[in-house]
Amino acid sequence: MTAPAHPASPRPSRISRRTRALGGLAAALGLALTASATAPAGAAAAASPAAGQGLREVMFVGNNWDGTADVIRSTGDLARIGRVNVIPDKEQRLTEIYLNPVKLAYFLGIRLGPGEGHDQFVDDMYSTPDGTAVVVSRPSFADVVSIDLATGRINWRFPVSGYRSDHMALSPDGTRVAVSASTSNTVHVLDVRTGAQLGSFGTGDKPHENLFTDGGRRIWNMSIGEVNTALDAPWLDWTKGDRRITVVDADTFAQTRVIDMRERLDAFGRSDLSDAIRPAAFTPDESKLYFQVSFFNGFVEYDVAGDRITRIKTLPKNPATSEDRTTWVNDSRHHGLSMSPAGDKLCVAGTMDDYATVVDRATLQEGPLVPASKPYWATVSGDGKSCIISESGADQVTAIDFATGLRTASVPVGDHPQRVRLGHVAADWTGPSGR
């Protein structure tokens, strides 16, 4: 495996060089780059349905290389409320790994491959509906754990099949979580309260993104294939494995549909694009699916009922970004996509191009290119007004207004933030007492 050529922390010269290049690109397009704006003083978190139950809506930020999750306000200035250690059992897990040669080989492989030289301690996380625990997937430990938010202790642990856990999805009722076991081509569905497995299903190679649809009655899984080799030339695409969307019944886990995007991309005349689907977002009515693919600076629009690709949007490149595909983190040029609650705007994290932008869904016209350091994820604020991106290269989380496309707030977090998820904690929570 070859480690991508990103440093653990951004070098000031690299950031300034790429930002200057991006500024020139934006100027050429007639777009205005924005400076950070100060959020309104005392901006309050949005009232959540759980507020009357003594809960507070927040955002959990997974600091992958730290093994922590920062808990921040879900709106406004995004101020940090507390921090959770999601690897309190680190020494025990490491002892098990170092005593097992096979586990050790995969552990080191994760460090050298997707971890960019670091261990991956938190990929994804969701809080329980009652706000008492956070459920976390830990790639390097190949498991899912529930952490008690009052004490910081582990409630339960579920080792996934194979040697690495990855993206998760929470059912709309908050009772089940689907987690990708990327080396065994399996998705496990767990009870968030007990950690018991409710079922599982097979996928294509390297399952990645999971989405619940149809009110929680379906689960969509996107497999991305092999992304940790240097065989990234287009003519070597066949080495990447079986990449497809697998749709299952969320109760029986029986397969209901398989979608091969290779056929759909070819039919649209884009045989040059990879069919490895990265982050994805449905429209509110679930009639359209938008997704990013490996190596591409843009996204694809797919008509679900018509089973066809309808539009493809190419976004600007940063002139300072190397065109050597082997230097792009895990094959992803752009990684992070979210949609406004009204379904009229998309927010795109241009990971390797060091920007994020809001795109009008009707016209596919992008707004200002907001400079960001290796943005790795995009989600929506609690009040639905902003896109929230994780800047993994700058160790911060940033809000971008859906209406204006401008940056409104940034807050420092831990080392290499990736997934950001809305959740709940007790109204008076400031961190586990057992830290």
For 176-227, write each residue's pLDDT tens digit: 999 999 999 999 999 999 999 999 999 999 999 999 999 999 999 999 988 8
- Listed range (22-36, 140-154, 224-238, 299-313) with the worst mean pLDDT: 22-36
- Predicted pLDDT of residue 43: 30
d(CA 359, CA 149): 37
- CA 260 to each of CA 247, 274, 308: distance values in angstroms, whole numbers, following the listed order: 12, 11, 11
Supply the mean pLDDT for the chain. Answer: 89
What's the whole-number mean pLDDT along residues 8-17?
36
Check pLDDT > 90 for residue 134: yes
Q: Which residues 6+ apart lie within 8 Å of 208 measured at CB?
A: 166, 167, 180, 182, 221, 222, 223, 224, 277, 278
Residue 214: φ, ψ to 5°: 55, 45
Closest CA relative to residue 365, chosen from 327, 330, 405, 336: 405
Check pLDDT > 90 for residue 53: no
Tokens of 210: 């999971």
Structural domain contains residue 19 = no
Our measurement of the distance from residue 350's CA atom to the centroid of its chain's CA atoms, rounded to an integer in Å, reads 13
- The answer for 417, left when phi > 0, alpha when psi is -120 to 50, beta otherwise, is beta
- Predicted pLDDT of residue 37: 34
The amino acid at 311: R
The amino acid at 231: L
Range of the domain at 316: 49-426
What's the whole-number mean pLDDT along residues 291-319?
97
- Predicted pLDDT of residue 348: 98
Check pLDDT > 60 for residue 41: no
d(CA 287, CA 200): 26
- Listed range (47-56, 134-143, 174-183) with the worst mean pLDDT: 47-56
Structural domain contains residue 134 = yes
Using DSSP, state whether 278 is helix, strand or coil: strand
What's the structural domain count of the chain? 1
Partners of 165 in the beta sheet?
181
Structure confidence by residue, pLDDT tens digits, 388-434: 999 999 999 999 999 999 999 999 999 999 999 999 999 999 999 85
Residue that wins the pLDDT comparison between 331 and 377: 377
Our measurement of the distance from residue 417's CA atom to the centroid of its chain's CA atoms, rounded to an integer in Å, reads 10
d(CA 165, CA 159): 9
d(CA 355, CA 1): 28
Structural domain contains residue 2 = no
What's the whole-number mean pLDDT along residues 132-152?
98
Structural domain contains residue 326 = yes
When pLDDT is cut at 50, 70 and 90, the band that residue 19 belongs to is very low
What's the whole-number mean pLDDT along residues 315-326?
94
Tokens of 412: 């420092």
Question: Are the C-beta atoms of residues 334 and 296 closer than 8 Å to each other?
Answer: yes
What's the whole-number mean pLDDT along residues 67-89?
97
Residue that wins the pLDDT comparison between 332 and 395: 395
- Predicted pLDDT of residue 434: 55
- Predicted pLDDT of residue 227: 83
| pTM summary value | 0.88
Structure confidence by residue, pLDDT tens digits, 256-265: 999 999 999 9
Structural domain contains residue 347 = yes
Question: Are the C-beta atoms of residues 221 and 210 closer than 8 Å to each other?
Answer: yes
Structural domain contains residue 433 = no
Check pLDDT > 90 for residue 137: yes
Structural domain contains residue 402 = yes
Query: Residue 129, class by beta-carbon neighbours within 10 Å (0-12 exposed, 13-18 middle, 19+ buried)?
Result: middle
Structural domain contains residue 18 = no
DSSP code for 129 = T
Check pLDDT > 90 for residue 13: no
- Domain CATH code at residue 305: 2.130.10.10
When pLDDT is cut at 50, 70 and 90, the band that residue 33 belongs to is very low
- Predicted pLDDT of residue 143: 98
- Predicted pLDDT of residue 387: 98
Q: Which residues 6+ apart lie within 8 Å of 146 measured at CB?
A: 128, 133, 134, 135, 136, 154, 155, 156, 157, 192, 195
What's the whole-number mean pLDDT along residues 105-127?
94
Residue that wins the pLDDT comparison between 107 and 233: 107
